[in-house]
Amino acid sequence: MRYDIIGDVHGCFDELVELLRRLGHRVDGKRLEVRPGRQVVFVGDLVDRGPKVAEVLELVMDAAGRGAALVVRGNHDDRLALYLRGWPIRSAGSIDSSLRQLSHRSVEFQQQVMDFLGSLPPRLLLAGGELLVTHAGDVLTDDEALRAEFNVNSAKTGVVDRYGVKELVDWVADYAGEHFVVYGHQTVLEPLRRARTLNLDTGCVYGGRLTALRFPEMELVSVPAHQAYATAKRWEALQDARREGTRP
């Protein structure tokens, strides 16, 4: 099996369809037909911020139900599932866009979304153990709960940079696992390859690009965002750093 691994979608349905077609798959309405011998894999954060969250969920849930796609749980997916279950959560404001869009759908569909997002695994081990796909990163520990929490949310250092962005733990610097890790979560201007890891979150929802990795070919394929649908301090910091020729 060969894989097409797609970065954080965040409700960017039109760009997702464009990327899937560029990868050689067929999309008819909300139905994805994957090329023979391949499987589409999502690194999580299907929801929030973008304009067509429900449409993304319809397409991905249908594909996953037929075995055409695999999905790991992102932190935004996790928070939305918990909120729909009635759990009190922090930072609920980030899911407002998803809730507004889902409010126009049936209660049955909302239940399906809750069940689907709540069932997503924190990571997937593919290609005979060579490839590990997760959302926010990986740590080597025998504590499964701790590892799953890191897979979905990563961890913060407690440091706030000059842009007001909370710094994430640099897990890649200490990563000593045997797998090639493909992830997202922390936005980058271009796909970021470090050691045996690759970050695919190229900020589509902020006006960047939606990026996929063809594995094992190691070919990157991306499409530009049709527009910026949201803003974030980290994305603005990255743009400022690019203009200044410095690091954020």
pLDDT score recorded for residue 245: 74
Tokens describing residue 114 = 């809750």
pLDDT score recorded for residue 234: 82
What is the rounded distance in angstroms from the CA atom of residue 174 to the CA atom of residue 205?
29
Tokens describing residue 38 = 């391949």
Tokens describing residue 197 = 């890891």
What is the rounded distance in angstroms from the CA atom of residue 203 to the CA atom of residue 67?
27
What is the rounded distance in angstroms from the CA atom of residue 180 to the CA atom of residue 185?
17
Long-range contacts of 83-90 (CB under 8 A, 24+ apart): 84/110, 84/113, 84/114, 84/117, 85/114, 85/118
Ordered per-residue pLDDT tens for the chain, 248 residues: 899 999 999 999 999 999 999 999 999 999 999 999 999 999 999 999 999 999 999 999 999 999 999 999 999 999 999 999 998 776 556 789 999 999 999 999 999 999 999 999 999 999 999 999 999 999 999 999 999 999 999 998 888 877 677 888 999 998 988 999 999 999 999 999 999 999 999 999 999 999 999 999 999 999 999 999 998 888 888 888 788 776 66
Closest C-alpha to 70, from 138, 143, 131: 131
Tokens describing residue 233 = 């301090």
pLDDT score recorded for residue 82: 93
Beta bridge partner(s), residue 210: 223
Which amino acid appears at position 80 of this protein? L
Q: What is the pTM of this model?
A: 0.94
pLDDT score recorded for residue 83: 92
pLDDT score recorded for residue 91: 59
Domains and CATH numbers, the chain: 2-244 (3.60.21.10)
What is the rounded distance in angstroms from the CA atom of residue 153 to the CA atom of residue 159?
16
